[in-house]
Structure 1
Amino acid sequence: MNKEARPFVKWAGGKGSLLNELTKNLPEFKNYHEPFVGGGALFFRLYSMGKIRKAYLNDLNEELMNAYQVIKSDVDSLINELQSGNYQNTKEIYYKIRAEELKDKVKRVARFIYLNKTAYNGLYRVNKKGKFNVPFGGYVNPTICDEKNLKLVSQALQKVELVSEDFSMVLKHAQKVDLVYFDPPYFPLSETSNFTSYTSEGFTKEDQDRLYEVYKHLDSGGRFVMLSNSYHPYTQKLYQEFDLEIVFAGRAISCKADGRGKIRELIIRNWKPIVSHQNQL
């Protein structure tokens, strides 16, 4: 067992509350792939369990993947930057840093983490021009530099290949008996619920359909595949040939307070886990 790192950013759809569900009765697998890594909670749990030989972590959010890369290769410089005194939790400093456009990779990651810790409700959202547009959160004493956790994250990433490309590229990397976990932007429960955009391109119904085709292709090639998505007639019908389990997940990030709390969602597997309380659809 390794010491468990935690996600270094707060990320909508994070799987911290579902780790026991996601890790129980996993098959024996070789390498691990996560095409929508986000905060990486499942990866960090699997690493702490000693199950990661090699991993491929991907996300289209380039700022997020730059953060993973810098933490992997130059975590001490990042810690020094975050502790430099330039990242104060004030409204004036927040909007100054939010407006910056930086080329230095370490400073970009420091800005990224600072905004995540101090923005309203921990949202990461960009407009169509790719500009971060979340207002100041006004929190009391947020932990902007968690030195111990950043070092644990860096340690966990040493045998990881980090990429930022379309999720379908997993077909190029994943081999037989590898485990692939998809945690895409969820199919919206209503026309107004899909508030967020983590890249300027968004994630459409056509992308959901493409994802299903990739899932099927991986299944037919002998890979283990697991996917999380919303509990919705569309997703139930789309993946009806596979094993669907209903789980209740906590949601800490939403534009509105009444959008947070326990909601039903699906875990979709292409193997049959032995679960003590399989929910009936």
Structure 2
Amino acid sequence: MNPKPFVKWAGGKRQLVQELLKHSPKKFNNYFEPFFGGGALFFELSSKDLIKQAFLNDFNEELITAYKVIKENPIDLIKELSKSKYKCDEKTFYSIRDETPIEPIKATARFIYLNKTAFNGLYRVNSKGKFNVPFGKYKNPKILDKENLLAVSKALQKDELTSTDFEKALTKAKKGDFVYFDPPYAPLNKSSFTTYTKNNFTKEDQVRLRNKAIELHKKGCFVMISNSYVDFILDLYSNKNIFTINTVHANRMINCKADKRGKIKEVIITNY
């Protein structure tokens, strides 16, 4: 089977994958994704055999630990998740949520379990870095998807996984490489959900990203960026000599109010 994202992730790109493919370069050397998240575009490109080697990064260390475990120890992870302790009820959920396993396989099993059973599939931590999303009351979530974990593991075998600042994750990018930026979006309003890590992504970070995109453009890299359709972003990428701004409509799935999950305008920005 073709791999697909193993977690539900805020800002995940599953519904936008076909649009992203349409705007991606047809041929490129290595692939870089400094805000990896759920990895929807990577898995789509990988299933089409378009990736030679990928450099995948996310500032969320728990997420990258999970990818590393899936890459290196999928069988042990599947054995752990097969245990009866990972059942979907409220008491079990809060018991597992309160655990802080150090061992990577147990930590990853907990991470996947919470992602499948927490309210709306949110990943959110408090100021102390503690996961604080309540129980999701799902009837029968698929906590263990054995076939997909094995497919994800296979897709990651030749790739490099890191958890660092996005600029540091791009030190090996060179001419002909494809860099896809999918950062925490510029907020549409003050309540927009951007708490993926303890460190929020600021306006200054958005400017730093734009400057990095210009630097990569000068190197001869293919650059594609997803973000909100807001004036701040439109102004930031207004240099038509470098950037083309394409508008798309995306469903926003991670919102506690169903009526707020509708279609939202987003941008896909390219330098080619």
Whole-angstrom CA distance in 1 between matches of 2:164 and 2:257: 31
1:221 corresponds in structure 2 to 219
What one-letter code is carried by the residue in structure 1 that aligns with 2:118? A
- Are the counterparts in 1 of residues 182 and 226 from structure 2 also a CA contact under 8 Å? yes
Whole-angstrom CA distance in 1 between matches of 2:258 and 2:19: 26
Whole-angstrom CA distance in 2 between matches of 1:127 and 1:144: 24
1:160 corresponds in structure 2 to 159
1:113 corresponds in structure 2 to 112
Query: Is residue 50 from structure 1 mapped to residue 26 from structure 2 by the alignment?
Result: no
Whole-angstrom CA distance in 1 between matches of 2:42 and 2:260: 26
> Sequence identity, in percent?
56
- Are the counterparts in 2 of residues 171 and 218 from structure 1 also a CA contact under 8 Å? no
Whole-angstrom CA distance in 1 between matches of 2:54 and 2:147: 22
Whole-angstrom CA distance in 2 between matches of 1:56 and 1:175: 12
1:188 corresponds in structure 2 to 187
What one-letter code is carried by the residue in structure 2 that aligns with 1:243? T
1:210 corresponds in structure 2 to 208
How many pairs are equivalent? Answer: 268
3-state SS of the aligned residue for 2:16?
helix
Moved more, 19-28 or 158-167: 19-28
Whole-angstrom CA distance in 2 between matches of 1:9 and 1:30: 27
Alignment of 1:57-136 (within 5 A): 57-136=56-135
1:279 corresponds in structure 2 to none
Structure 1: segments with no counterpart, 5+ residues: 272-281
1:266 corresponds in structure 2 to 267
Shift of residue 18 of structure 1? 1.1
Whole-angstrom CA distance in 2 between matches of 1:6 and 1:125: 22
- Are the counterparts in 2 of residues 127 and 197 from structure 1 also a CA contact under 8 Å? no
- Are the counterparts in 2 of residues 182 and 226 from structure 1 also a CA contact under 8 Å? yes
Shift of residue 26 of structure 1? 3.2
Moved more, 200-209 or 221-230: 200-209
Structure 1 runs (4+) greater than 6 angstroms displaced? none
What one-letter code is carried by the residue in structure 1 that aligns with 2:218? S
- Are the counterparts in 2 of residues 14 and 39 from structure 1 also a CA contact under 8 Å? yes
* Residue deviations 1:73-131 (CA, integer Å, cap 9, x gap): 00000000000111010100100100111111000000000000000000000111111
Shift of residue 258 of structure 1? 2.6
Shift of residue 25 of structure 1? 5.3
3-state SS of the aligned residue for 1:167?
coil
1:275 corresponds in structure 2 to none
1:4 corresponds in structure 2 to 2
- Are the counterparts in 2 of residues 128 and 201 from structure 1 also a CA contact under 8 Å? no
Structure 2: segments with no counterpart, 5+ residues: none
3-state SS of the aligned residue for 2:174?
coil
* Residue deviations 1:209-235 (CA, integer Å, cap 9, x gap): 111111111111100000000000110
What one-letter code is carried by the residue in structure 1 that aligns with 2:13? K
3-state SS of the aligned residue for 1:266?
strand
Task: Calculate the TM-score normalised by the size of structure 1.
Answer: 0.93
Query: Is residue 252 from structure 1 mapped to residue 253 from structure 2 by the alignment?
Result: yes
Whole-angstrom CA distance in 2 between matches of 1:259 and 1:34: 28
- Are the counterparts in 1 of residues 17 and 44 from structure 2 also a CA contact under 8 Å? yes
What one-letter code is carried by the residue in structure 1 that aligns with 2:245? L
3-state SS of the aligned residue for 1:16?
coil
Task: Calculate the TM-score normalised by the size of structure 2.
Answer: 0.96
3-state SS of the aligned residue for 1:227?
strand
* Residue deviations 1:257-281 (CA, integer Å, cap 9, x gap): 232121100000001xxxxxxxxxx
